[in-house]
Amino acid sequence: MNYRTESPEIIREFLFYHETIKGHSKKTVDEYFLDLRTFFRYMKIHKNLIARDTPFEEISIMDINLNFVEKITVSDIYEYLAFLSRDRPKQQNSRNTDYGLNANSRARKVAVIRSYYKYLTLKAKKLSESPVADMDSPKLRKSLPRFLSLDESVRLLDKVDGKHRARDLCILIIFLNCGLRISELAGLDLTDLREDHIRVIGKGNKERVVYINDACAEAINEHIKIRKNITATDGRALFLSSRRTRISTSTIHALVKKHLLAAGLDSTKYSSHKLRHTAATLMLKSGVDVRTLQELLGHEHLNTTQIYTHIENSSLRDAASRSPLSGYKKKT
């Protein structure tokens, strides 16, 4: 898949903008391309520009131009969302799949379409108005993130064992103390280590500093004692696989599942990303304010961080108990 050769100019320039000006990762830009390709494939069917029996995945979008884009209405886009919610396979290229994307998936696709039209109106000045300017996004069901308790976190760390004990323990301790994303952990280099902090490259290649505590420093030092004696294909990588290549996100996922099982925790309920949730939740419980946590986690927007404020907050409980009506009892 290469959007540079598989998309028309009217889409390609938008993707170039996000890659070069906005600094979004290749993965993010590729996802934008796939979402727009799906959108315009549907629109060609919806506008009766292609035979109905044409396989959806074979529809070319190379003929999409400004004239086509500016004729799309908000009603057309609502029709597209109905298609996504009823008829779009949940798993592409699978014979055994359910149909209809959930609200979160549909909301992401609306966000891409909105971003696309915003670019055409405000940046490229090719359209005078956007059909999605006042469009509502699918209503999302708010769910609280799962996380390990403090006791469960300690039990997980205590049970780490095996051939790669020092490496795995270091990874888990950094997860639980620093709340890094799994891609950030896999991408750490030896040169990212400092005496009291690590340099982290997050989403959009944004760099941030994450300070480490004594537990992290000790775990890193123990890992480095072994790592420095290993000749790797990627000499920069902090964490290596058993093949002496930079550790992959899938390997990290697997080792997290392995140690969760060893600790007697439900590996279907928890995952590497849930360790990031755990770090955030435990820090909030310990009194870290939400704006500091936002910077630590590398969230661009505060509302992303505020999902963690579901935790029991002692100051809020104290405020409730201090209410003048806290002792009210109905007279019998």
List Cα–Cα distances, 111 to 91, 116, 132, 141, 295, in angstroms.
Answer: 21, 9, 10, 17, 24
Report the alpha-carbon distance of residue 287 to residue 289 in Å, rounded. Answer: 6
| Residue 181 known to be catalytic | yes
Phi-psi domain of 100 (left: phi exceeds 0; alpha: psi -120 through 50; beta: other): left
Choosing from 114, 146, 273, 310, which is the catalytic residue?
273
Read off φ and ψ for residue 23, nearest 5 degrees.
70, 25
List Cα–Cα distances, 18 to 107, 126, 332, in angstroms.
Answer: 19, 17, 67
Choosing from 37, 181, 223, 227, which is the catalytic residue?
181
| Residue 299 known to be catalytic | yes
Beta-strand ranges (E) seen in the chain are 197-201, 207-211
| Residue 24 known to be catalytic | no
Read out DSSP for 138-152? PPPPP-PPP---HHH
- Residue pair 301/293 in contact (Cβ under 8 Å)? The answer is no
| Residue 308 known to be catalytic | yes
Choosing from 12, 108, 155, 203, which is the catalytic residue?
203
Choosing from 18, 37, 276, 277, which is the catalytic residue?
276
Catalytic annotation, residues: 181, 203, 273, 276, 299, 308
